[in-house]
Amino acid sequence: MKILIADDHNLVREGLRPFLEELDPNVEISEAASFDEAYAVAAEGDRWDLILMDLKMPGMVAFDGLVKMCEAHKETPVVILSGHFNRHDVLEAVERGAAGYVPKTISGSAMVNALRLVLSGEKYIPSAAFQDSPESNDDSPIGRSAIAQTATDGPLSRLSDREKEILGHLIEGNTNKEIARKLGLQEITVKVHLRNIYRKMEAANRAQAVRIALQSGWQT
């Protein structure tokens, strides 16, 4: 697995390495300290599995750098890293091609789960982006305690308690295998529940189900 980290802070780049190594013990990590350097390094590689880019590093110019990198590497998921974020930035980044938007404040395990979700072909959107405060950078996980607090009407009300429990794990960024292990279920059972969840929520995939849940008032 080949990953490029682009961030103008050396401590951030070094701090990310142990978590990226959890994704693949044989991971090859390249680094860049600006967008121009990242773009040049990315151009040298034949195939990248993941590109992580700081939104505010030199040369980014708002979302222009993101768009340029996504266009140059259409087969590679490009994920935005940010120390602070708001709802507008998260949604605009995804609309402009980002495969995810990861706050630097989230825990290491949450970051690994987020990146695994991206590598599986889904998009990662932090739950805090859909909370009431538009400038929130809270990285509190959306979890199983939401079962008793979901809305009484709307798509969430159509789900059974087990489906809500699985949806909570889905929002946390857990894979099907991880959900199955945590709940003591077979992976095929989790897949069946997910199909039912998508149908009841009128969602096409994992990312859309998460977005609908958060927009419908899912709370911890």
Residues 19 and 112 in one domain: yes
Q: Measure the N-to-C terminal CA separation of the chain; round to a whole number of Å.
A: 34
Residues 188 and 122 in one domain: no
Domains held by the chain: number: 2
Burial level of 80, CB count in 10 A (0-12/13-18/19+)?
buried
Per-residue pLDDT for 23 more than 60?
Answer: yes
Whether pTM exceeds 0.75: no
Q: Percent of the chain at pLDDT above 70?
A: 87
Q: What are 170-216's pLDDT values in tens digits?
A: 888 888 999 999 888 888 888 888 988 998 898 888 888 888 887 77
Per-residue pLDDT for 141 more than 80?
Answer: no
Considering the domain boundaries, does residue 137 fall inside one? no
Q: Rounded mean pLDDT of the chain?
A: 82
Report the pLDDT value the prediction gives residue 54, as an integer from 0 to 100: 92
Residues 107 and 57 in one domain: yes
CATH code at position 160: 1.10.10.10
Report the pLDDT value the prediction gives residue 42, as an integer from 0 to 100: 95
Contact (CB, 8 A) for 50 and 72? no
Q: What are 73-118's pLDDT values in tens digits?
A: 999 999 999 877 777 788 888 888 999 999 887 778 888 889 998 9
pLDDT category, 151, cuts 50, 70, 90? very low
Euclidean distance between CA atoms 46 and 15, whole angstroms: 26
Q: Which residues span the domain enclosing 8?
A: 2-130
Considering the domain boundaries, does residue 95 fall inside one? yes
Q: How far is CA 211 from CA 12, 43, 79, in A?
A: 28, 33, 17
Residues 102 and 191 in one domain: no
